[in-house]
Structure 1
Amino acid sequence: MIHYPYENFYEMLFLITEEKSSKKVIFIEDKSYTYTQFLESVDRLARALELVCVGKGDRVALICPNSAEFVMSVFAVSKLGAVIVPINTMLKNEEYRYILDDCGAKILITASKFAKEVDGLCESVASIEHTIWIDKAPKENTCHLVLDEILTNHLHIHTPSLAKLDDTAVIFYTSGTTGHPKGAMISNRNLFSNFVAARERFDLSTNDRFIVYLPMFHSFTFAIMVVLPFFMRSSLVIVPSILPFSNIIKQTLLKRVTVFMGVPDIYNALIRAKLPWYFLWFNSIRIFVSGGSALSEDTLSKFKATFRRATMLEGYGLSECSPAVAVNPIEKQKTLSVGLPLYGYKVKIVNEEMMELPIGEAGELIVSGDCVMQGYLNNPEATAETIQNGWLRTGDIAKVDEEGYVYIVDRIKDLIISKGINIYPRQIEEQMMLLPSIKLAAVIGVNDPHSGEVPIAFIELEEGYEKTTASEIKGQLKEHLAAFKIPKTITVVESLPKTATGKVLKRVLKQGNY
């Protein structure tokens, strides 16, 4: 039985502040916050949310850049016993509308840089009562509020959080084969299990300093790079944007970062970059952690040769598991393996009948433990398909060696992972077939040296649209899909390969002979 020292994020913050009041917890550009200053900001924001009637169980959506306000929102919502819903900031208006409708968000917290894509959401999504802007509002009315204005002159006091260990803390939206995003409900217990496990696996201490440059809405970044540092009584360095990449290098050196987490695309960029000699000599990094997709053997070997004083640890996870499942231990890493299951978690490799397979044989990876989500919001059918007898079916094909190290072999689902972000072909296909020119579409993922994978499409055109170009189709898709979901290439074919029942044979397309 795992002991959890806190019921929720806010209780954690309050108790740690009593112990580490003057320690700096957040560094962002030329600003910093001590634990005391950060707690005061959280209390003020919680009071502001309370004044607009946010209470226990309410959903507060975040379409927000990497910022101190993002982190404050997470803890303020926890104080009120409400649920935070971090949303991908690269989506389009109609994609946001679906998610906000599905989760029943009461409040949307956002920034002016997203004004175009969030336009009209406050007025068109029935559940949203207010949009709170962390900088400036594009409209002035009772629906749109500016954070600084609602914080002015409001008293705030410490009151215990209403949130319990098994209450839902976060809803991560992750797309599925149906084409619509599904909300994975993650409890405080789920996330704290990840923190306890990460502390043990990474040998973390209060002296560690994390850097946060990947988007905070991502489950990996949210849990392991944003909230875990608080659990460890350590610190985090927030970089508002991944570009310019040179700034990440600069902040890593100047702020003495010790834990650097990223995805393969970042590590490939680090290897290609002409790093100054003083960075290689004077950086404080002791561990690099990679997730999202596998690093190539070439990348791993080059990385070890470049950063000789640090250890690269590959890991594996998914939003439905809060998110980390397995990571290589510091004392022994295996090339191409995602490591051993984290403390308190169990994994099995099973066949289609859910029967466990022998060591070394490939099958579906299933997971059990306190990391397993509560279920999908408003989707009991999908929940029942995914969680069976306490085991979560990942949809990934894997194998385990005699020492228990996990190796990801392939994916059962058609999931495409580009720069650590999940892309689901079905959603793209459905959107493409809404266009009058497209009769049938099939999207697959292909390897890409910069992104890991990118989507490409094969299409059959409707009669009368034979002159339609790929460029025209991409232009039409840009109105409805985030840029990273737009197929890199669109190939027109006379007829897609199909089964006798009309299902497209994607394996034929993936073989590259079509």
Structure 2
Amino acid sequence: MIHYPYENFYAMLERVTEENPSKRVIFIDDKSFSYQSFLENVDRFARALELIGISKGERIALICPNGIEFVQSVFAISKLGAITVPLNTMLKNEEYRYILGDCGAKILITASKFAKEVRNLSETVETIEHTIWIDQAPIEDSQHLVLDEILSDHLHTHRPSPAKLDDTAVIFYTSGTTGHPKGAMISNRNLFSNLVGAKERFDLCSSDRFIVYLPMFHSFTFSIMVMLPFFTRSSFVIIPSILPFSNIIKQTLLKRVTIFMGVPDIYNALIRAKLPWYFLWFNSIRCFISGGSALSEDTLNRFRSTFKRATMLEGYGLSECSPAVAINPLEKQKTLSVGLPLYGYEVKIVNDEMLELPIGEAGELIVRGDCVMQGYLNNPDATAETIQNGWLRTGDIAKVDKEGYIYIVDRIKDLIISKGINIYPRQIEEQMMLLPQIKLAAVIGMNDPHSGEVPIAFVELEEGYEDTTQAFIKSQLKEHLAAFKIPKTITVVESLPKTATGKVLKRVLKQGLN
């Protein structure tokens, strides 16, 4: 049974600050924050949120860049017992409208760089009472507030309602293969179970230093890159933007980063980059961790020959599991394996009837343990389909060897993973078929050396629109979909392959790519 030393994120921060008040926890550009100064900033923000009416159980959405404000928000929200809803900063206005309406967000915290897509959300989503801008407000009225102007001089809330271990702490909106994104409800227990397992697996200590350059809204970054350093009394370096990539290399060296986490796209870039000799000689990295999708054997081999003093550990997870499920141990890694389950978690490989399969046989990977989400917000049917008798069905095909190491073979679902970000084809297809020119659309993933996968589309055109171009369709989609969801290619076909009932045979389309 896992022992949990804290009930919520804020309680963790308070305890760590009592023990390490002057230690630097966050580095960003030329600034740094001690645990004590960070806690004081959190307390001021929590008081400001309380004064505008936030109480326990209410949802606060974040559309924020990587920065101190994102992290402060999460802990301030936790202090009030409210729920953080971190959102992908690359979405479009109508995508935000759906998610904010679905979760019933009361407050939106955002930045002026996203003004084009978010500025009218407080008017179009009826539950939103205020938009808090972390820098400057493009609109000045009672609904739009500037963070610096609302921060209170008082450090403590009047009526703190601390969240309990089994209260929902975060809602991660995760891409599925059909319909709209679903909100995976993650409790404090769920997320702390990940932190307990990761601390043990990576043998972390207070002298470790992480680097955070991947988007903080992503469940992997949120849990393993942002919250884990607080749990281990460590520190981390925030990189506001992934570009220029040379800055990540520079900060890794100058700030003496020991734990470097990324996705295959980043590691492929590192291998291709002409790294200066002094970086290879003087970096402090002891452990590289990869998630999101599988690294190729060639990349793994080249990486190990380049960084001889560090260990590369591949892992596996999904938002519904808070998110980490398995990671290779430091003492023994297996190429192409995502490793062993974290402490306290169980996995099985099962057939369609949920019966366990023999060692080495491929089937669906299912997971049980404190990492399994509470369910999908407002979607009991999807929850019942995904969680059965306490086991979460991942939709991924995998196998295990006799030592329990997990190997991901394929995905049952049509999910596309591009640069570690999930893309669900159904949303793109539905948007395409809103165009009068398109009769039917099918979107699948195509392997890409830089992104892992990219979406591509096949379409049937309506009669009379035979001269519709790929460029025109893309231009129409850009008004409604995030850039990473726009199909790389759009191929017009006379007829898509279908079953007798009219369902498009995507496997036939995928076979045509080989």
What range describes the TM-score normalised by the shorter chain of this pair? Answer: over 0.9
Separation of aligned partners in 2, 1:468 and 1:27 = 51
- Residue by residue over 1:392-416, the C-alpha shift from the partner in whole angstroms, topping out at 9 and shown as x without a partner, is 0000000000000000000000001
Separation of aligned partners in 2, 1:330 and 1:360 = 23
How far 1:513 sits from its partner (Å)?
Answer: 6.0
**1:256–1:284 contact (8 Å) kept in structure 2:** yes
SS of equivalent to 2:97: helix
Separation of aligned partners in 1, 2:135 and 2:443 = 39
Aligned to 2:286: 286
Q: How does 1:54-203 map to 2 (within 5 A)?
A: 54-151=54-151, 154-157=153-156, 162-203=162-203
Separation of aligned partners in 1, 2:400 and 2:386 = 21
- Residue by residue over 1:312-363, the C-alpha shift from the partner in whole angstroms, topping out at 9 and shown as x without a partner, is 0000000000000000000000000000001000000000000000000000
**2:350–2:363 contact (8 Å) kept in structure 1:** yes
SS of equivalent to 2:179: coil
SS of equivalent to 1:431: helix
Separation of aligned partners in 1, 2:139 and 2:195 = 40
How far 1:175 sits from its partner (Å)?
Answer: 1.8
The one-letter amino acid of 1:182's match is K
The one-letter amino acid of 1:484's match is F
**2:242–2:248 contact (8 Å) kept in structure 1:** yes
**2:56–2:161 contact (8 Å) kept in structure 1:** no
SS of equivalent to 1:47: helix
Separation of aligned partners in 1, 2:503 and 2:104 = 35
How far 1:154 sits from its partner (Å)?
Answer: 3.3
How far 1:157 sits from its partner (Å)?
Answer: 2.2
2:222 is equivalent to residue 232 of structure 1: no
Separation of aligned partners in 2, 1:156 and 1:193 = 30
Q: How does 1:328-347 map to 2 (within 5 A)?
A: 328-347=328-347
Separation of aligned partners in 1, 2:398 and 2:85 = 30
SS of equivalent to 2:11: helix
With normalisation by structure 2, the TM-score equals 0.99
**2:50–2:157 contact (8 Å) kept in structure 1:** no
The one-letter amino acid of 2:179's match is G
**1:199–1:232 contact (8 Å) kept in structure 2:** yes
How far 1:161 sits from its partner (Å)?
Answer: 5.2
Aligned to 1:273: 273
Aligned to 2:381: 381
Q: How many residues align?
A: 513
Aligned to 1:297: 297
SS of equivalent to 1:326: strand
**2:349–2:356 contact (8 Å) kept in structure 1:** yes
SS of equivalent to 1:347: strand
Separation of aligned partners in 2, 1:432 and 1:203 = 48
**2:46–2:157 contact (8 Å) kept in structure 1:** no
**2:119–2:138 contact (8 Å) kept in structure 1:** no
SS of equivalent to 1:422: strand
- Residue by residue over 1:181-232, the C-alpha shift from the partner in whole angstroms, topping out at 9 and shown as x without a partner, is 1000000000000000001100000000000000000000000000110000
How far 1:176 sits from its partner (Å)?
Answer: 1.6
Separation of aligned partners in 2, 1:187 and 1:253 = 35
**1:206–1:234 contact (8 Å) kept in structure 2:** yes
Aligned to 2:212: 212
Separation of aligned partners in 2, 1:253 and 1:61 = 34
Separation of aligned partners in 1, 2:453 and 2:161 = 42
Aligned to 2:36: 36
How far 1:80 sits from its partner (Å)?
Answer: 0.1
Separation of aligned partners in 1, 2:232 and 2:225 = 11
Unaligned runs of 5+ in 1: none
**1:214–1:242 contact (8 Å) kept in structure 2:** yes
With normalisation by structure 1, the TM-score equals 0.99
How far 1:156 sits from its partner (Å)?
Answer: 1.9
How far 1:177 sits from its partner (Å)?
Answer: 2.3
Separation of aligned partners in 2, 1:420 and 1:54 = 33
Separation of aligned partners in 2, 1:460 and 1:70 = 44
- Residue by residue over 1:143-165, the C-alpha shift from the partner in whole angstroms, topping out at 9 and shown as x without a partner, is 000000011x5322277651000
The one-letter amino acid of 1:400's match is V
Q: How does 1:312-461 map to 2 (within 5 A)?
A: 312-461=312-461
Separation of aligned partners in 2, 1:156 and 1:236 = 24
Separation of aligned partners in 2, 1:398 and 1:20 = 43
SS of equivalent to 1:455: strand
- Residue by residue over 1:401-438, the C-alpha shift from the partner in whole angstroms, topping out at 9 and shown as x without a partner, is 00000000000000010000001111111111011100
How far 1:119 sits from its partner (Å)?
Answer: 2.1
**1:62–1:110 contact (8 Å) kept in structure 2:** yes
Deviates most, 138-147 or 160-169: 160-169
Residues 38, 409 of structure 1: CA spacing in aligned structure 2 closer, same or farther, 3 A cutoff?
Answer: same
The one-letter amino acid of 1:196's match is V
Q: How does 1:478-493 map to 2 (within 5 A)?
A: 478-493=478-493
CA RMSD of superposed structures (Å): 0.9
Separation of aligned partners in 2, 1:230 and 1:459 = 49
Unaligned runs of 5+ in 2: none
**2:178–2:425 contact (8 Å) kept in structure 1:** no
Residues 123, 415 of structure 1: CA spacing in aligned structure 2 closer, same or farther, 3 A cutoff?
Answer: same
How far 1:178 sits from its partner (Å)?
Answer: 2.2
The one-letter amino acid of 2:401's match is D
**1:441–1:460 contact (8 Å) kept in structure 2:** yes
Deviates most, 431-440 or 159-168: 159-168
